Amino acid sequence: MANLASFSNDKYASDSELAVDLLEQIIPLTKAKDKAVRFRTCQLTSKLLNSLGEDAEVSDEFYENILNAMLLRLRDKIPVVRVHAASAISRLQDPTDPEDPVTLEYLRMIANDTSKEVRKSVLANIGISTVTLPAILARIRYV
């Protein structure tokens, strides 16, 4: 579904309108009480965001909505929800900025998350920079 929603090539250029529309519909569902709904919405958000092209554009307000929703899910009580939320906002991080909220959450999760799957997901998605490298090396050395 994510590939279909964000499809584009030389002959059929797409501005990813369908993907953005889908994201607008599912982002509010990230606050659902049912853990299965939160899991699937984070999973779909991750797939859609990661399948968008580099030139895809979204409004600043929608960017903030996605960012806030996924930052909230990074503190979810269900580990698989946190795994997909970490994957979803990987493109929204600025690892060179020590005050970036995504990078700060990633660094917190690397050091403190109780689930090894979540820590592995964060390590796979964190951008490497002088800000994040010490935490990455510390986690890699951890037995």
pLDDT tens for 35-61 read: 999 999 999 999 998 888 777 777 889
Q: What value does the mean pLDDT of the chain take?
A: 86
Contact 86, 118 (CB under 8 A): yes
Q: How many domains does the chain have?
A: 1
127: which DSSP letter? P
Contact 32, 17 (CB under 8 A): no
CB burial of residue 33 (10 Å; 0-12, 13-18, 19+) = exposed
**Measuring CA to CA, which residue among 28, 3, 27 is closest to residue 16?**
3
Read off the CATH number of the domain in which 26 is found: 1.25.10
Q: Which residues contact 107 (CB under 8 A, 6 or more apart)?
A: 132, 135
User: For the chain, what is the radius of gyration of the CA atoms?
Assistant: 15
Model confidence pTM above 0.85: no
Domain that holds residue 132: 2-141
Lowest mean pLDDT among 8-17, 61-70, 99-108, 133-142: 8-17
What six digits make up the tokens of 115? 């689930």
